[in-house]
Structure 1
C-alpha cells in the first residue's frame, strides 16, 4: 500500500493536536519533529487497518445498494408481466 499523503494544512492541524494532547494529557512538551515522527508511526501502523475497514464498509454499502437496485428491476419486470 502506498503511503497516505495528507494536504499540508491538514497535516499541520494534526501535528498541532498531537502536541496539544501531550501537553494536556501527559503534561509533556514535544517538538514538531517528535509529533511528526509520531504521526508517521501511527499512520504506518493504523493506516492499513483503517483503510481496509473503510473498503469493507464501502463494499457493504455497494452490495446493499445493488440488492435494492435488483429488487427495483424485478418489480419493474413484474409490472410489465402483469399487463
Structure 2
C-alpha cells in the first residue's frame, strides 16, 4: 500500500523541503528534486510512521472497548433478589 498525500499538502511539503535546504544546507534544491525527495520519504519512511499510528489507534480502541463492559454492564437475573429485599430501590 502506497501512502499518498493530497495535492495541496504535497505542494506545501515540497515548499517546506526547499525552505529547509535554503536555511540549513549549503546548496539549494529545486522543485523536481524536492518532489523526488518527498516521494522517497513517503515510500521509504512514511510506512513506519503510519504503522505506528495504526498500532496506537488500535491500543486506544481496545482500551475503550474494554471500558464498555464496565460502563454498560447490566446485572442479569435481579428480579427475585429485588423482591427478597423490598426496601431496596428498583
Q: Distance in 1 between the 2:35 and 2:5 partners?
A: 12
Instruction: Please tell me whether residue 7 in structure 1 is matched to residue 6 in structure 2.
Output: yes
Higher percent of residues as helix: 1
Residue equivalent to 2:31: 32
Q: Can you give the 5+ residue segments of structure 2 that lack an aligned partner in the other structure?
A: 83-90
Comparing 8-17 and 25-34, the one that deviates more? 25-34
Q: Distance in 2 between the 1:47 and 1:57 partners?
A: 15
Figure out how many residues of one structure are paired with residues of the other and give that number.
80
Runs of 4+ aligned structure 1 residues displaced above 4 Å come to: none
Q: Deviations over 1:21-69 (max 9, x none)?
A: 0000113211011001100111111121111101100110111101110
Q: Distance in 2 between the 1:55 and 1:3 partners?
A: 15
Residue equivalent to 1:18: 17
Q: Deviations over 1:6-34 (max 9, x none)?
A: 11111000000000000001132110110
Question: Pairwise CA RMSD of aligned residues?
Answer: 1.7
TM-score (norm 1): 0.84
For the pair shown, the structure with the greater C-alpha radius of gyration is: 2
Residue equivalent to 1:53: 52
